[in-house]
Amino acid sequence: MQKSMARIDITMPSTGYYLLNKISVMNIQLFYEDIIPGSNIPPCFKKPDKMQLVRWAGASGDYNPIHYDKDYAIEHNLPGVIVHGQLAACYLGQMITDWIGERGQLKKMAVTYRGMNIPGESITCGGVVLNKQIDKGEHLVSLKIWGENPGGEKTLTGTAIVALPVRE
């Protein structure tokens, strides 16, 4: 696998990805030949806070009070303020694009919201390779993806298709 960034502090060759300062995943270039159906995608861990919800609302235009007004959320039978579903879905997209590297392409992603995420609680994003195929010259990989709350409940589920380069 080719590295897409020059500075690497810790190498995790058994997992196929790199860690920088023991915190953030660094992209390496993933190739179609590296894919084994049934293998897991390196997970992504997020812990959105209320400030991130404010930023997301500003960027997306989603100012629904359930995302910032605790009393309003409770009045509407929610446990309190909840994370924007689209924000949580973007975490899944980030997990995928971090994994596939700069030359990979996220072709399609579909997500269903199955539960709520609460600000301050972690969201663990995961995925597994379903299959791989060549279609019209593109080397495609199908994925099953999800996001889990701290209780292990899958609050987001979905699928994605990525195109990967082949070794030359």
Please tell me the distance from the alpha carbon of residue 48 to that of residue 118, in angstroms, as a whole number: 8
Predicted model pTM: 0.82
User: What does DSSP say about strands 138-148 and 123-135: parallel, antiparallel, or unpaired?
Assistant: antiparallel
pLDDT of residue 12: 33
Q: What is the pLDDT of residue 17?
A: 39
Strands 10-12 and 2-3 come out as: unpaired
Collapse the DSSP code of 68 into the 3-class scheme (helix H, G, I; strand E, B; otherwise coil) and give the result. Answer: coil
HSE-up of 5 (CA within 13 Å, CB side)? 16
Ranges of each domain in the chain: 31-48+85-163, 50-82
Q: What is the pLDDT of residues 126-139, one digit of tens each?
A: 999 999 999 999 99
The fold of 31-48+85-163 is Thiol Ester Dehydrase; Chain A (3.10.129)
